[in-house]
């Protein structure tokens, strides 16, 4: 690549990154200012830093519990939907299943529903129908993992299908001729080639689960409450605690960043597979 082109790229990305980062920088500014200072003529740069919010948040064991719940639920859900979505896509692209196009389209309709009205039936199902002895799905992590499938599973299927479809079918046919089992074909041939798609799906479904609020707010009470519901506690009639809210958000960036960087490598890995396009 030519030298000046590299510089242009860098400049371009610096500008884009600046625009992307500014609201996040502002989140940080909010987290290190007492609320009263937010209500004055704003300045771009910080003149003083107020760490009290961070001390408070770090000492709050309830929030740590929420963080753990959020991690378990979103990781569990993202893993589940990525695996199930991947298998479903293999089925949809490799088999002549009756009505498979309709099924494929139908899956996505589960994501279209405006969530507000679905809370009531889900609440009723969770408390009165889906129960096993004393155990109800309400306020349980497994319940949240399952209910998040309604919007994440369609997403996984729709984002993975083009990827799985793009993997030449000759590859698995050749393997079957050599006597490989379906399991071997899926795990050893399709899976490695679908890695970029799987990585993106994993990241995005994780993000959707991590950020979900309305379902978690209605379907959890004490044991499975997530960070987003914890955040809403700071929006009260007596005052929205902008500072604490921003501080918690800054903290939530950390686990998310770790997961992102772990998974993102696999998107890069995919790049060696295809050459330069367009």
- 51 touches other proteins (CB under 8 A): no
Q: Shortest distance, CB of residue 102 to other proteins, whole angstroms?
A: 10
| Cβ neighbour number for residue 82 with a 10 Å cutoff | 25
Return the bridge partners of 136, or none.
131
Residues in 172-211 that interact with other proteins by CB under 8 A: 173, 176, 182, 193-194, 196-197, 199-201, 203-204, 207, 210-211
The SS3 assignment for 131 reads strand
Residue from 47, 109, 134, 179 binding other proteins (CB under 8 A): 109
Residue 104 interacting with other proteins (CB under 8 A): yes
Report 84-103 residues binding other proteins (CB under 8 A). 84-85, 87-88, 90-97, 101, 103
Lookup: tokens for 14: 């610096």
Q: Residue 92 and residue 138: Cα distance in Å, rounded?
A: 33
Q: How far is CA 2 from CA 275, 276, 277, in A?
A: 18, 16, 18
Task: Map tokens 């896509």 to a residue.
Answer: 89
Binders in 224-253 for other proteins, by CB under 8 A: 225, 227-229, 231-246, 249, 252-253
Q: Round to whole Å and give the CA distance between 192 and 62.
A: 40
Residues contacting residue 107 through CB under 8 Å, at least 6 positions apart: 88, 153, 154, 157, 158
The contact pattern for other proteins, residues 126-165, with x = CB under 8 A and - = no contact, is -xx-x-------x-------xx-xx--xxx-xxx-xxx-x
175 token code pair: 């393997």
> Does 73 contact other proteins by CB under 8 A?
no
* Residue 73 vs 138, nearer CB to other proteins: 138
Of 99, 114, 133, 179, which one interacts with other proteins (CB under 8 A)? 114
Is residue 213 a contact point for other proteins (CB under 8 A)? yes
Contact criterion met (CB below 8 Å) for 200 and 188: no
- Residue 11, interface with other proteins (CB under 8 A)? no
Q: Nearest CA to 215 among 204, 206, 224, 207?
A: 224
Interface with other proteins in residues 13-42 (CB under 8 A) = 13, 16-17, 19-21, 23-24, 26-27, 30, 34-42
Q: Out of 3, 47, 48, 59, which residue is the one contacting other proteins (CB under 8 A)?
A: 59
| CA distances, 23 to each of 20, 42, 247 (Å) | 7, 14, 14
Least distance (Å) between residue 191 CB and other proteins = 13
Say how many residues touch other proteins, by CB under 8 A.
147
Given 49, 142, 214, 262, the residue binding other proteins (CB under 8 A): 214
């Amino acid at each position: 690549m030519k030298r000046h082109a590299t510089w242009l790229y860098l400049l371009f990305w610096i500008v884009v990154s600046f625009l992307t980062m500014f609201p996040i920088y502002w989140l940080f500014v909010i987290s290190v200012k007492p609320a009263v200072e937010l209500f004055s003529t704003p300045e771009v740069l910080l003149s003083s830093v107020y760490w009290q919010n961070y001390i408070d948040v770090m000492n709050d064991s309830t929030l740590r519990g929420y963080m753990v719940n959020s991690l378990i639920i979103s990781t569990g859900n993202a893993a589940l939907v990525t695996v199930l979505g991947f298998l479903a896509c293999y089925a949809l692209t490799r088999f002549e299943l009756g009505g498979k196009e309709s099924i494929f389209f139908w899956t996505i309709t589960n994501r279209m529903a405006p969530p507000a009205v679905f809370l009531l039936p889900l609440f009723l199902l969770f408390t009165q129908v889906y129960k096993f002895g004393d155990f109800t799905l309400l306020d349980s992590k497994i319940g949240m993992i399952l209910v998040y499938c309604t919007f994440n599973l369609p997403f996984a299927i729709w984002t993975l299908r083009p990827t799985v479809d793009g993997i030449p079918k000759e590859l698995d046919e050749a393997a079957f001729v050599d006597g490989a089992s379906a399991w071997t074909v899926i795990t050893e041939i399709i899976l490695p080639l679908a890695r970029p798609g799987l990585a993106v799906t994993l990241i995005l479904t994780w993000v959707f689960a991590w950020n979900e609020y309305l379902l978690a707010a209605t379907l959890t009470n004490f044991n499975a409450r997530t960070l987003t519901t914890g955040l809403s506690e700071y929006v009260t009639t007596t005052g929205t605690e902008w500072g604490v809210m921003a501080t918690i958000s800054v903290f939530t960036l950390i686990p998310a960043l770790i997961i992102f960087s772990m998974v993102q490598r696999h998107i890069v890995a995919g790049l060696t597979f295809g050459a330069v396009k367009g």
